[in-house]
Amino acid sequence: MLRRTVTAILCTALLCSGCTFGFDDALKQVQQAVSPTPSPYPVHEKETSTFYYDQLSEAQKNIYETLMRAKDSYAGHVDLGAVKADDFTVAYQAFTLDNPLVFYGQTYTWTGCSDGDTITAIDYSEGGDYRSQEAEIRNAAQAVVDSVPVESDTYSRVKYYYEWIIENTVYGSEEHDQDVRSVFLDHQSVCSGYARAFKLLCDLSGIPCAVVEGTANHAAHAWDLVQIEGIYTWVDPTWGDPVYLNETDVSHINYNYLCVPDDLLLLTHTITHSAGSNENTIPDVFSYPACSDWSLEYYVRNGCYFTSYDRLTLYNWFIAQIDAGRTADIAFQYSDDAGYQAAADDLFNTGGYMRTILAARYNSVTIRYETDDTLRVISVSLEG
């Protein structure tokens, strides 16, 4: 599988305010000059889910709320008063992860004391008309939400958004590939853009969702945590894109990472619980719920999951798929390595039983297949 490294999300540049005495004296002096703390901001009344906000301390929530007020006014400059740098780092990461429409927030400069322990203001590095750009993104995303079939349940909506992003986005680096513009306006992105676009669609539909950052195969990566009818599950739209996976057939969608439990996701993905960058990492900040329910896993939900290998069972299931008109991308999964390997041998090895009987039934057939040894998934297409 092809793995791509995600560009660092937060870049900071130091603008010193000239403080030359101790942190406590500097903080006290600046605090005396700022206005009283404003009334609480109604974060939970907003359309975005607040997965990260809910994990913050009171000081960090106050910073987050200040950033939200600035977002509402589309301000490029945000006065913070005087806050501890570590609190700002945690709050800012929570703010940008919770709010995919802060597309301009990937880089900023900060003003504070020269020792770096106090921050008084930030300025977003990217200029422009945030208001009109947000409207354009929101309209494009809302059009996707409005195109979902009316009778769709929550799972069907999640699946629809997964498919839409994959079908309408070319995997590849571009100017805005760390934010939602890359998917909804430019239609080319990397994992950060895929994950944030998926969250925005969920937000507009009232589906709880969080962007999750970590690593996959030792490279930086981003994906999503989504809650469906009370069940937490993982969705990785980037890994559903055959272009990203470097598959030979790019015309189909890979469902291996649609609504997967911990048992599957954590075979390849590692969650980052810290906040900040390599230069300033604050460990053990964010926690995530267990995703232990298998009922939403794509192959389980669609009756394509086998707990052991039985030749007749697989053959009858396979023929039922063909009789229903499916000859391409007939995918199924095994719970154990022994069953997976036995099925693969019967289908793909010369003289294999399944290969022989399918060829006899359909006179002449070419079996094209793809396998995922990690998740024990086999995808078969019959040609000829």
Mean pLDDT value across residues 38-42: 80
pLDDT value of position 380: 86
Query: What CATH architecture applies to the domain 130-294?
Result: Roll (3.10)
pLDDT in tens, 93-140: 999 999 999 999 989 999 998 888 999 999 999 999 999 999 999 999
pLDDT band at 247 (very low <50, low <70, confident <90, very high): low
In the predicted model, what is the mean pLDDT of residues 322-332? 88
Give Cβ neighbours of residue 62 (< 8 Å, ≥ 6 apart). Answer: 37, 83
> Over 60: is that where the pLDDT of 1 sits?
no
Task: Please tell me the predicted confidence (pLDDT) of residue 20.
Answer: 33
Residue 344: CB atoms within 10 Å: 19
pLDDT at 245: 64
Is 21 strand, coil or helix?
A: coil
Q: Report whether pLDDT(316) > 80.
A: yes
DSSP 304-353: -EESS--HHHHHHHHHHHHHTT--S-EEEEESSHHHHHHHHHHHHSTT-H
Confidence grade of residue 47 (pLDDT, cut at 50, 70, 90): confident
Q: Which tokens go with 368?
A: 């094209």
pLDDT of residue 244: 72
Query: What percent of the chain shows pLDDT beyond 90?
Result: 68
- Give the best-scoring range by mean pLDDT among 77-86, 108-117, 319-328: 77-86
Average pLDDT over residues 29-58: 78
By the 10 Å C-beta count (0-12 exposed, 13-18 middle, 19+ buried), 192 is classed as buried
Which is nearest to 202 in space by CA: 171, 177, 227, 231?
227
Please report, for the chain, the start and end positions of each structural domain, with discontinuous segments joined by +: 11-124, 130-294, 303-383
The stretch 66-78 carries a mean pLDDT of 96
292 in helix, strand or coil?
A: coil
Top mean-pLDDT range of 44-53, 105-114, 136-145 = 136-145
**Cβ distance 84 to 59 under 8 Å?**
yes
Across residues 213-220, what is the average pLDDT?
92
Nearest residue to 240 via CA among 280, 185, 276, 194: 194
Q: Are strands 275-277 and 280-282 parallel, antiparallel or unpaired?
A: antiparallel
Closest CA to 14 of 164, 119, 86, 101: 119
Residue 254 has a pLDDT of 92
**What six digits make up the tokens of 44?**
């939970």
- Look at residue 224 in the predicted model and tell me its pLDDT: 98
- Could you please report the per-residue DSSP string of 168-233? H-EES--TTTTSTHHHHTS-EE-HHHHHHHHHHHHHHHT--EEEEEEEETTEEEEEEEEEETTEEE
pLDDT in tens, 259-286: 999 999 999 999 999 999 877 899 999 9
